[in-house]
Amino acid sequence: MTKDSLGKGSTSNKAVLSWVAEMENLCRPSRVYWCNGSRAEAQALTGQAIEKGMLIKLNQKKLPGCYYHRSHPNDVARVEQSTFICTKDQEEAGPTNNWMAPREMYQKLRTLSEGAMRGRTMYVVPYLMGPPGSSLAKVGIELTDSVYVVLSMGIMTRMGTIAFEQLGNDDDFNRGLHCMLDINPERRYIAHFPQDNAIISVGSNYGGNVLLGKKCLALRIGSYLGRQEGWFAEHMLILKVESPAGEKTYVAAAFPSVCGKTNFAMMIPPPYFQGWKITTIGDDIAWMKPGPDGRLYAINPEAGYFGVVPGTNSRSNPNAMEMIARDTIYTNVALTPDLDVWWEGKDGPPPEECQDWKGNRWTPESEEKAAHPNSRFCVPMAHNPVLAPEANDPQGVPISAIIFGGRRTDTVPLVFQAFNWVHGVYLGATMGSEMTAAAVGGAGQVRRDPMAMLPFCGYHMGDYFRHWINMHRLIKHPPRIFHTNWFRKNGKGEFLWPCFGENMRVLKWIIDRCHGRIDADESPLGWVPNPKSFDLGGMANFTPEKFAKAQAVNNEEWRREVILQEELFMRLYSHLPKELIFQRELLVARL
Ligand code: OXD
Ligand code: MN
């Protein structure tokens, strides 16, 4: 690829050409740049981003290929109140989504986008979600006036000519338009038009709102298409567990944002589990479809990780520390005088002085945090030292276990297993979690976050539960379903379970259950580990009594929990599958 060919169009697909021309006519950029996804292109655009002050080149000796970005202080997280699902009928979007009629929203956003790229470049970003050739993969095209978005999409997706190759002359691609405007929260809309497979995002330049392949296409539009086409688009990591004997088991897990999906997917088992290996297929999103052998197959549609930085260190995620030491875009962390990065929870002492995420002088005495709690790294998955080769397998991997887990200080035990599929759907549907910095507002409050999909489901949550129940019929060998909670604390505020690598023990129990190797005890909540068959070997200070505390089921707390769960069920009532109401009755009867 020569430098001269950068920015030139490379498709004869008529649907693409006419849509890009239409959007050019609307946004009136001074230039249209077609991305091809090459290294030369990334280098040239990085150079331009540095010139414009969008990126700062970090210390290349310490962090080769790494760059630093600050977003506008009013634009640091997903904004759920500005996120809309524009189905024809409001009923279809359901009570948990903001809704506006498509015609009204198109009108509003056309007005905002009119001439919005005057004097600017419109980048045409073709991208492929999923391994090339996969029957589950989907093509999207994002038109954006942000070079930060182009560079990030180049990391997060299979971006460039490869997408046009997959698309051919088809017009089945997601149409995404992103205009930064003036980054004004008053004029910020992340609007999804599932019936048109289209997205328009204006007024933001924060990842989750503008990297349209991720939350917008892979989850909101994806979930809508998945229901029509008989597959699942889920907010789940995918990992492979390999035993010393070479047995491979694939597990998917739904935890809400900032609840440790990336750490779990890259976990290093403790020394006691010598010979066991965890490798990563995905850290955030799973697309899953029944395969011809009756098992549920999953792919990771992404090609990079957009992970939360604070708290990442050589104890919580040593693999990530290695991964983000090169070719990484850091957003909203702190910047040290020697152009290194720092964040709360990084190994070692804080720097004596640095610039915080807003560019202000920061010292350890400062009251504010140096890195924003939702600061991010953006890195190619190929740099993950424990990437599973299956991450690039168009067939995907057969899933044996699905785990649902929230962040709960009390009530919810470390691990339990659903009695059956519908009970598992109930566990996912009633999941609660304390809110985190990934979204604006409400941090710390428990809210229902069914299947970790509350902010990401592109249609009525009640119909989404129905889809989960119905899919059972299409999966002859369904995965077993589990629930975990790593975050339970005692009265003194101390965690009851040590987490990180020790989570391998929970995973081992889950896998043994899936392969029918161990018995479990019955509890009102589901199957729980029999203390004799849960391996605590090699844990110096962790006694069976401590484990019993992490596993305790307090019936009083659970009666309260059922009442709290009711709130969401009442909101969804008109579309709520009766099966879930029966599950609630059964749970109450068991308590
Ligand atoms: C994410 C999120 O960025 O869930 O993955 O917010
Ligand atoms: Mn996520």
- How much is the pLDDT for 136? 97
Question: How far, in Å, from the CA of 82 to the mean position of ligand 2?
Answer: 17
Question: How far, in Å, from the CA of 249 to the mean position of ligand 2?
Answer: 23
For residue 272, what is the DSSP state?
A: G
Question: How far, in Å, from the CA of 293 to the mean position of ligand 2?
Answer: 30
Count of C-beta atoms within a 10 Å radius of residue 193: 21
Rg of the chain over CA atoms, in angstroms? Answer: 23
Condensed to tens digits (0 to 9), the pLDDT of residues 68-125 reads 999 999 999 999 999 999 999 999 999 999 999 999 999 999 999 999 999 999 999 9
First to last CA, the chain: 66
pLDDT band per the 50, 70, 90 thresholds, residue 440: confident
Condensed to tens digits (0 to 9), the pLDDT of residues 291-330 reads 999 999 999 999 999 999 999 999 999 999 999 999 999 9
Condensed to tens digits (0 to 9), the pLDDT of residues 343-354 reads 999 999 999 999
Q: What 3-state class would DSSP assign to 548?
A: helix
The environment of the single-atom ion ligand 2, i.e. residues with CB closer than 5 A, is: 257, 284
Q: What is the dihedral sign for C-alpha 214, 217, 223, 226?
A: negative
- How much is the pLDDT for 541? 87
Angle at 37 between CA 35 and CA 39, to 5 degrees: 120
Q: What 3-state class would DSSP assign to 8?
A: coil
* E strands, 354-466, in order: 354-355, 361-362, 376-380, 397-405, 415-417, 432-434, 446-448
- How much is the pLDDT for 436? 79
Candidates 35, 216, 259, 378; catalytic one: 259
* 259 catalytic per annotation: yes
Q: From the CB of 399, is ligand 1 less than 6 Å away?
A: no
pLDDT at 590 over 90: yes
- How much is the pLDDT for 445? 82
Residues whose CB is less than 8 angstroms from the CB of residue 181 and which lie 6 or more positions away in sequence, other chains included: 112, 116, 187, 202, 203
pLDDT band per the 50, 70, 90 thresholds, residue 2: low
- How much is the pLDDT for 4? 67
- Per the DSSP assignment, residues forming a β-bridge with 330 are 68, 377
Q: From the CB of 257, is ligand 1 less than 6 Å away?
A: yes
- How much is the pLDDT for 444? 75
Nearest to 176, CA basis, from 109, 240, 237: 109
Token digits for 60? 């290349």
Nearest CA to ligand 1 atom 2: 257
Please tell me the distance from the alpha carbon of residue 228 to that of residue 368, in angstroms, as a whole number.
Answer: 47
Question: How far, in Å, from the CA of 257 to the mean position of ligand 1?
Answer: 5
Given a contact cutoff of 8 angstroms between Cβ atoms, the answer to whether 460 and 450 are in contact is no
Nearest CA to ligand 1 atom 3: 208
pLDDT band per the 50, 70, 90 thresholds, residue 20: very high
Q: From the CB of 449, is ligand 1 less than 6 Å away?
A: no
Please tell me the distance from the alpha carbon of residue 88 to that of residue 99, in angstroms, as a whole number.
Answer: 9
Nearest to 418, CA basis, from 232, 223, 580: 580
Q: What percent of the chain has pLDDT over 90?
A: 95
Could you identify the atom of ligand 1 that is nearest to the CA of residue 306? 3
**Amino acid code (one letter) for 110:** R
Which residue among 214, 215, 234, 435 is best mutated to probe the pocket of ligand 1, counting the most ligand atoms within 8 A of its Cβ? 215
What pTM, to 2 d.p., does this model score? 0.97
Residues whose CB is less than 8 angstroms from the CB of residue 447 and which lie 6 or more positions away in sequence, other chains included: 432, 433, 435, 454
Question: How far, in Å, from the CA of 284 to the mean position of ligand 2?
Answer: 5
Token digits for 430? 């009633």
* E strands, 77-235, in order: 83-85, 98-99, 121-129, 138-144, 158-159, 174-179, 189-193, 198-202, 232-234
Condensed to tens digits (0 to 9), the pLDDT of residues 386-399 reads 999 999 999 999 99
* E strands, 458-564, in order: 480-484, 520-522, 527-529
Question: How far, in Å, from the CA of 210 to the mean position of ligand 1?
Answer: 12
Q: From the CB of 302, is ligand 1 less than 6 Å away?
A: no
**Cα separations in angstroms, 93 against 203, 223, 230, 463, 497:** 23, 12, 19, 10, 38
Rounded to an integer, what is the distance from CA 20 to the centroid of its chain?
29
- How much is the pLDDT for 10? 86
The helices-and-strands tally (H runs, E runs) of the chain is: 16, 31
Q: From the CB of 261, is ligand 1 less than 6 Å away?
A: no
> Considering the chain, what is the average pLDDT of its residues?
96
Helix-helix angle 461-471:222-229, to 10 degrees: 40
- How much is the pLDDT for 540? 86
- How much is the pLDDT for 341? 98
Nearest CA to ligand 1 atom 4: 257
Q: From the CB of 488, is ligand 1 less than 6 Å away?
A: no
pLDDT band per the 50, 70, 90 thresholds, residue 499: confident
Question: How far, in Å, from the CA of 376 to the mean position of ligand 1?
Answer: 10
Could you identify the atom of ligand 1 that is nearest to the CA of residue 77? 6
Please tell me the distance from the alpha carbon of residue 159 to that of residue 145, in angstroms, as a whole number.
Answer: 16
Q: From the CB of 208, is ligand 1 less than 6 Å away?
A: yes
Question: How far, in Å, from the CA of 70 to the mean position of ligand 2?
Answer: 20
pLDDT band per the 50, 70, 90 thresholds, residue 258: confident
Q: From the CB of 131, is ligand 1 less than 6 Å away?
A: no
Q: What 3-state class would DSSP assign to 144?
A: strand
Nearest CA to ligand 1 atom 1: 257
Could you identify the atom of ligand 1 that is nearest to the CA of residue 235? 4
Could you identify the atom of ligand 1 that is nearest to the CA of residue 208? 3
Q: From the CB of 306, is ligand 1 less than 6 Å away?
A: yes
Token digits for 493? 């505020």
Q: From the CB of 284, is ligand 1 less than 6 Å away?
A: yes
